[in-house]
């Protein structure tokens, strides 16, 4: 099935939407955070008067397992250019995610541009490592998408990271499925955690919160992605992401706050 | 009055709180975004079972003017370590802010630390420029706090920024008022916009969304702050902030998405 199909929702009442966490989107049994966000954000988009998420934040309160979910949405303010919408995803009454998003129209248009920096330097797609799903690592959900990892990064090379721990690579959907702004929410949480590059003595770094800023609808083709972590501190770490499309345009920025589990 | 006093709320019903937007917290008539966030986050803290905001996101839907506001809060999940709470601030029924936060206890404790980088290099406090409030720029609200700007930054020097546009400086509250984690939310939105360093042809860059990640309660003293913007693109810009305390510990990271007004 397509990613669009596996994130689909249908209206079951005013501001109430039914969705489904499909099988094999999991990481050690728990559904991937970007996938859950995409389902919730799709319900919110249906409630907004505007098609594209411009900024969406999700707080993860319980793990998601395969099965039906319900999303409640409410539009706080619908404006001419933007709408702000809340969402809550539950599974059998148990809250999984709290969401807050502002929606607009991200059709590419001429705007003032000033980019300090450049798209991340990622090895060519053919020179990158293809992740194929297994029962352990990489997790099953990588079978839903296509991921390629830069072999120079510590995660792949096994050599300790020098400087800022970084994971770079390429993302696209399978079978040429177009990547809309909702599927972009999957791209920002699809790569292995930067913590794995740092050889931190933890098995997992659960996401507390994920915010994505979307700048424009991506052009067709591979997305060039980079994730890095500068601060492991206070029991938390941030993971900052950038996603660029095949035309060299920045399409999304993301930041998540993840928890360092207590020993 | 103290910042704690000017962000105070009182319970007026289950999950309902009354607050006040005090005079002279404005920028050209509209209340500062970090100040509004602090009022909302204080009401949410009162509803959470945990004292400190760990991650808070605000979406700004209408400008705030001096006068009474009401904050509705609801705790989505209260856990042993974290609580996730929603908030909505309204003024005479008109929504101003939608908030979503996760609260915990940020008492400093021994944790795994790995910091790539270092506190921002800011000129000594005495060598920095003190901002005194005027009726235009800087805006009145700088009278509520103490800000010092690094004279080397383009905003102060008037020379075009080389590389990533950055605003650096120092923040503290007046009269030695301690900075708790709620007042930290004011620090992340108190400095002049980075857009002013870029000489963009816009008079203002309104904030659509602001997210703050708090890592620990700040030690007494000046906070060392840095804000920078790498991507003006698609009609938006991000502003990334870091706040460090007098012991050299990272206490907060922030990112906001601001709008480039259409010509």
**pLDDT 10s digits, B78-129:** 989 999 999 999 999 999 999 999 999 999 778 888 999 899 999 999 999 9
B238 part of contact set with chain A, CB < 8 Å? yes
Per the CB < 8 Å rule, is A232 touching B112?
yes
Q: In DSSP terms, which residues pair with B147 in a beta bridge?
A: B171
Written as six digits, the tokens of A14 are 């005013």
Return the pLDDT at B109. Answer: 79
Q: Is it true that the peptide bond before B138 is cis, omega within 30 degrees of 0?
A: yes
Mind listing the pLDDT tens digit for each residue in A30-71?
Answer: 999 999 999 999 999 999 989 999 999 999 999 999 999 999
Q: Find all residues with CB under 8 Å of A199, minimum gap 6, and list them.
A: A160
Residues in chain A with CB shorter than 8 Å from the CB of B47 are none
ipTM of predicted complex: 0.96
> Best of B111, B113, B116 to disrupt the A interface by mutation (most A CBs within 10 Å)?
B116
Is residue B122 within 8 Å of residue B128, measured between CB atoms? Answer: yes
**B72/A183 Cα distance (integer angstroms):** 32
Per the CB < 8 Å rule, is B55 touching A253?
no
Pick from B74, B90, B76: nearest CA to B19: B90
A191-219: b (≥16 Cβ within 10 Å) or e? bbbbbbbbebebeebebbbbbbbbbbbbe
**A67 SS3 class:** strand
Return the pLDDT at A100. Answer: 98
Say how many Å lie between the first and final Cα of chain B, rounded.
Answer: 40
What does the pLDDT average to over A108-121? 88
Looking up tokens 């590419």, which residue turns up?
A: A108
pLDDT band at A249 (very low <50, low <70, confident <90, very high): very high
Range of lowest pLDDT (A146-155, A189-198, B198-207): B198-207
Nearest Cβ partner for A216 among B86, B111, B234: B234
B90 part of contact set with chain A, CB < 8 Å? no
Q: Is it true that the peptide bond before A100 is cis, omega within 30 degrees of 0?
A: no
What does the pLDDT average to over A98-109? 94
């Amino acid at each position: 099935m397509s990613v669009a199909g596996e994130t689909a929702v249908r209206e079951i009442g005013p501001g109430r939407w039914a969705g489904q966490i499909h099988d094999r989107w999991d990481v050690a049994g728990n559904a991937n955070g970007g996938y859950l966000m995409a389902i919730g954000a799709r319900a919110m988009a249906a409630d907004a008067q505007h098609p594209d998420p411009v900024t969406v934040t999700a707080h993860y309160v319980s793990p998601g397992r395969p099965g039906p979910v319900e999303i409640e949405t409410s539009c706080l303010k619908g404006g001419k250019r933007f709408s702000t919408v809340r969402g809550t995803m539950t599974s059998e009454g148990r809250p999984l995610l709290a969401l807050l998003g502002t929606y607009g129209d991200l059709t590419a248009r001429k705007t003032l541009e000033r980019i300090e920096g450049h798209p991340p330097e990622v090895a060519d797609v053919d020179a990158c490592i293809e992740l194929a799903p297994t029962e352990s690592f990489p997790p099953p959900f990588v079978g839903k998408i296509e991921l390629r990892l830069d072999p120079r990064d510590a995660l792949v090379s096994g050599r300790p990271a020098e400087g800022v721990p970084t994971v770079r690579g390429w993302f696209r959907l399978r079978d040429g499925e177009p990547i809309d702004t909702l599927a972009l929410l999957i791209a920002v949480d699809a790569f292995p955690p930067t913590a794995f590059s740092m050889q931190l003595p933890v098995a997992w770094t659960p996401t507390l919160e994920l915010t994505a800023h979307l700048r424009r609808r991506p052009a067709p083709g591979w997305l060039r992605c980079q994730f890095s972590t500068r601060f492991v501190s206070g029991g938390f770490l941030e993971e900052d992401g950038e996603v660029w499309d095949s035309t060299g345009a920045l399409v999304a920025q993301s930041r998540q706050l993840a928890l360092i589990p207590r020993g």
